[in-house]
Chain A
Amino acid sequence: MSSTFFKTIGIRLWTSALVLVGVSILIFCIARVIPGDPARIALGPNATQEQVELLRERLHLNESLPVQYFEFVRELFQGDLGMSLYTNRPVTTDIGDFLPATLELVVFAGILMVVVGIPLGVLAARYRDKLTDNVVRLLSLLGVVTPTFVWAVFLMLIFAFYLEILPVAGRLSQGVDPPPGVTGFYTIDALLAGQWSTFGDAFSHIILPATALALTGIGQTARLTRASVAETYDKPYVEMAQAYGFSDRRIASKYALRPAMIPSLTIMGLDFAAMLGGAFLVEAVFAWPGLARYGVETILHKDLNGIVGTVLVISAFFLIVNMLVDIAVAWLNPRIRLQKRWAG
């Protein structure tokens, strides 16, 4: 392990922390600087002046902005994001309840993105400019240009309404009890508890929303993989592999793929993390009780603490995923992993 590797990780950790502080300031500014009294907006025009005053007090709105921010950060470090004005519960409790459902959805979609997108891209690159390539390119273009909510609606229409092979909405059928909570992922919890029928039910419920969420990412991944693998096909080392008679399959799945994947991984990480945005749309269509749906509700109810908390958690997830991907890339790339640090 070289010092360059740890240095890369160190720099990444430091910038991530810095960016997270920046995000908290940004969210804070959006919440307080936008004209209008947040307390009044939250309570609506029918609230009395006393009610508004009370809320202003609770949200520290009468203090100066830096003091407000300081209060916000102090409470944040105590694990306190304030009370949700929409559910009347601590925002952290709400997030704890709703986050696992969203994560389960995003993880399934992420797996689909990788498992379907990369092979499609490799296939297209291997048969460049042939029929396979054109079909893959057309399909991935469709994936990218179709809004997630349109995919969600179309999939629901076809598989839930017309073919009736998959459930329309929710995480479980009515009458099915959630498995004992360990991870908060119903599929995994059901497996852990050995409840096979619950697992089947949870799994059938997640297929459509996860697919709808994944399709944009699958399209992006396939396009990206195709482009970078096609580029490595022009490299001398692939010609060398061909000149030594390595099989086409081996070249496609190993010799051209690995060098091509290293630069692509970073972008795939971004696409994966961006699914949290898409989750807002998918959860709305499939009535998926996750954080995104909670986020929309807090926005519609002008729930200041709820909005700030949701956005912060989502950004933190976004940053963590990107950081992990960067570390993985540094690890996979022997140049970074092994290079001795130069003097100075």
Chain B
Amino acid sequence: MVAILRSEAWYKFRRNKLSMVGLGLVTLIVLLAVFAPLVAPYPTHAGAFVDFVNASQPPSATNWFGTDLIGRDILSRIFFGYQVSLVLSVVVLVIAVPIGVGLGLVAGYFGGWIDYLIMRVTDVFLSIPPLVLAMAIMGFLEPTLLNAMMAVAVMWWPWYARLAYNLSRSESHEGYVLAAEVIGAPKWHVLVREVLPNCLPAVFTKITLDVGFVILIASSLSFLGLGVQPPTPDLGSMVAEGAQYLPDMWWMTVFPAFAILIAVLGFNLLGDGLRDALDQGR
């Protein structure tokens, strides 16, 4: 049964060309990130490499996307930038999703004062515009990759709490949950074995969409100088650095900017496709 549903979902997913484009882009980006040391034309340019002779060169046969102010190959740095972005996204979501989903499920399923407390705290976090909260946190921390991850995770969990809350609220009135309760299954058991699995497709879809949006927010932070610091290759910092030399050295800005755009686009198309395929499959 599950296998049939899955194949049906896959059939629906496959039919949508844009979803397939998304899958293609995401696969490409993940492969480039994982194998960056192998596929990057100049792997050593990822770090604090300096070559003033070749500095600030426009795109050419040797450096397809040109070089930056200290002679590093921009294409290579984009590949390593993808590596940093993906690691950051995964870590952020690994922290934020379990916390958010856990709190949301508990609030939605148990109700009462637990519900009130958790959801009001969630409201507080959600009433500070996303980027602003992460920035405020970074304001009191050293700008490192780890701290940026923490700041973004703190700002991200409430969205999952909200989602899981709504899901568990509607699921807890479903027949199978009531049936399990009537049989006398302990509440925690019902929550973990019955409610949680039925929330997973929606959570899974949101995670796919969010990988892109975490990349977007994290690059926004580093664009403002509040995230990952040089010499770590980061797409947001690259755009910020290049923007000071517009319009003459446009390649320093334009290529990293497109790199971010394409990554967010890819995960978005993939997530939309998954949502459509899973929604109708249910």
Contacts and interface: CB of A to CB of B under 8 A. Distances in A.
A and B touch in the complex (CB under 8 A): yes
Given A274-B129, A318-B127, A302 B246 contact: no
Contacts, number: 137
A124 B80 CA distance: 39
Contact of B257 (A23, A150, A298): A150
Given A141-B265, A146-B264, A299 B139 contact: yes
Contact of A38 (B140, B216, B260): B140
Contacts of B123: 15, 19, 22
Interface stretch (A26-34, A115-123, A202-210): A26-34
Contacts of A302: 139-140
B200 interface: no
Contacts of B137: 30, 34
A113 B137 CA distance: 29
Contacts of B254: 154, 157
A278 to B, nearest CB: 7
Contacts of B124: 19, 22-23, 25-26
Interface residues of A, number: 52
Interface in A300-314: 300, 302, 307, 311, 314
A145 B212 contact: yes
B132 A147 contact: no
A36 B247 CA distance: 41
Contacts of A142: 265
B260 A314 contact: no
Contacts of A18: 120
Interface residues of B, number: 43
B253 interface: yes
Interface in A147-192: 147-150, 153-154, 156-157, 161-162
A23 B130 CA distance: 13
A141 B268 contact: yes
A325 interface: no
A22 B121 contact: yes
A148 B261 CA distance: 10
Interface stretch (B91-99, B167-175, B188-196, B221-229): B221-229
B135 interface: yes
B177 to A, nearest CB: 27
B129 A147 contact: no
Interface in A127-147: 141-142, 144-147
Contact of B140 (A41, A153, A162): A41
A319 B239 CA distance: 32
Contact of B136 (A30, A149, A161, A284): A30
Contacts of B136: 27, 30, 299, 307, 311
Interface centre among A280, A284, A322 (most CB of B within 10 A): A280
A161 B131 CA distance: 28
A315 interface: yes
B129 A318 contact: yes
Contact of A299 (B129, B135, B219): B135
A280 B239 contact: no
A147 B131 CA distance: 12
A82 to B, nearest CB: 15
Contacts of A273: 129
Interface string B99-130: 00000000000000000000011011101111
Contacts of B132: 276-277, 280, 295, 311, 314-315
Contacts of A141: 265, 268-269
A319 B133 CA distance: 15
Interface string B261-280: 10011001100000000000
Given A22-B120, A30-B137, A147 B127 contact: no
B10 interface: no
25 contacts: A15-B123, A18-B120, A19-B127, A26-B124, A141-B265, A145-B212, A145-B268, A146-B261, A147-B216, A147-B236, A147-B261, A149-B239, A150-B257, A153-B246, A153-B253, A154-B254, A157-B247, A157-B254, A276-B129, A277-B132, A284-B224, A299-B138, A300-B226, A311-B136, A315-B127
